[in-house]
Amino acid sequence: MALAERPVAKLGHAVIFLGPPGSGKGTQAKVLAAKYGVPHLSTGDMLREHVAKGSLLGVKAKPIMERGDLVPDSLVLKMVAERIERPDCSLGFVFDGFPRTVAQAQYLGELLKYHGFAHPFVIHMIISHMLLIRRITGRRTCSIGGEIYNIFDRPPKVEGICDNDGGELIQRPDDREEVIRARLMAYEKQTAPLVNYYRRLGFLHEIDASKSVPEVEQEIAQAVAGLRGAR
């Protein structure tokens, strides 16, 4: 591994990105995971992979995701439990889009204890509704490596083409306006209660996600660098 790619330090924790669709969870979770050399676990990406390969889970999840609803806990929890069993998660991991319900958060608490981790470190991405719509409608994702762009704020050098690997940039099917409304409603109803759930436990760290990507990245880096006594 080249020196520049060496992880800065041990993470030793589960870090959770909590925030509405389009708040920048994926953008920042990838950077943080790469910085510490731990896996970036996006339940949205995992589910989209299942849909793409047509697995039983994918067949069940596809129509639910297309409507903008949450996939049932029973399906998501099994997928997450299997993923964090893998050895690459032993030094910590970064969740993006999980947990999304109180039941998922309670189950995650048990899983973390079982695997010998302390409590999670929760990053709450705070952002206005108006900015969310701009970010979601402008998002384009690389069909090969998954790099995230935005036609308004983070355009690629060549329109429609990924800077990293030349992959075609595509718009997610659930980024259509009518689905965005359903996703935002699902967030308010089922996921927003997690803010108080984690705040009461004292695990919540609030970030102003309306700032630029490098500014948000720096705020998160400082917050996470303050973590001590991992396992």
Query: Which entry of 35, 62, 139, 140 is annotated as an active-site residue?
Result: 139
**Active site annotation includes 100:** yes
User: How would you list the strands of the sheet with 169-170, edge to edge?
Assistant: 148-150, 139-142, 169-170
**Active site annotation includes 134:** no
Distance separating alpha carbons of residues 130 and 168, to the nearest angstrom = 28
Q: Does 148 bind ligand AP5 (CB under 6 A)?
A: yes
Q: Does 198 bind ligand AP5 (CB under 6 A)?
A: no
CB nearer ligand AP5, residue 214 or residue 229: 214
Of 25, 35, 50, 124, the one binding ligand AP5 (CB under 6 A) is: 25
Query: Which entry of 35, 48, 62, 100 is annotated as an active-site residue?
Result: 100
CB nearer ligand AP5, residue 20 or residue 92: 20
Give the shortest CB-24-to-ligand AP5 separation in angstroms: 3
Give the shortest CB-3-to-ligand AP5 separation in angstroms: 28
**Active site annotation includes 25:** yes
Distance separating alpha carbons of residues 10 and 195, to the nearest angstrom = 26
Residues 67-106 that bind ligand AP5 (CB under 6 A): 68-71, 76, 97-98, 100, 104
Give the shortest CB-138-to-ligand AP5 separation in angstroms: 6
Specify the stretch interacting with ligand AP5 by CB under 6 A; choose among 62-70, 85-93, 162-170, 194-202. Answer: 62-70
Q: Does 120 bind ligand AP5 (CB under 6 A)?
A: no
> If DSSP states are collapsed to H, E and C, what string results for the chain?
CCHHHCCCCCCCCEEEEECCCCCCHHHHHHHHHHHHCCCEEEHHHHHHHHHHHCCHHHHHHHHHHHHCCCCCHHHHHHHHHHHHCCHHHCCCEEEECCCCCHHHHHHHHHHHHHCCCCCCEEEEEECCHHHHHHHHHHEEEECCCCCEEECCCECCCCCCECCCCCCEEECCHHHCHHHHHHHHHHHHHHHCHHHHHHHHHCCEEEEECCCCHHHHHHHHHHHHHCCCCCC
Q: Does 50 bind ligand AP5 (CB under 6 A)?
A: no
Q: Give residues in contact with ligand AP5 (CB under 6 A).
A: 19, 21-27, 43-44, 47, 64-65, 68-71, 76, 97-98, 100, 104, 135-136, 138-139, 148-150, 153-154, 174, 183, 212-213, 216
Residues carrying an active site annotation: 25, 100, 139, 172, 183
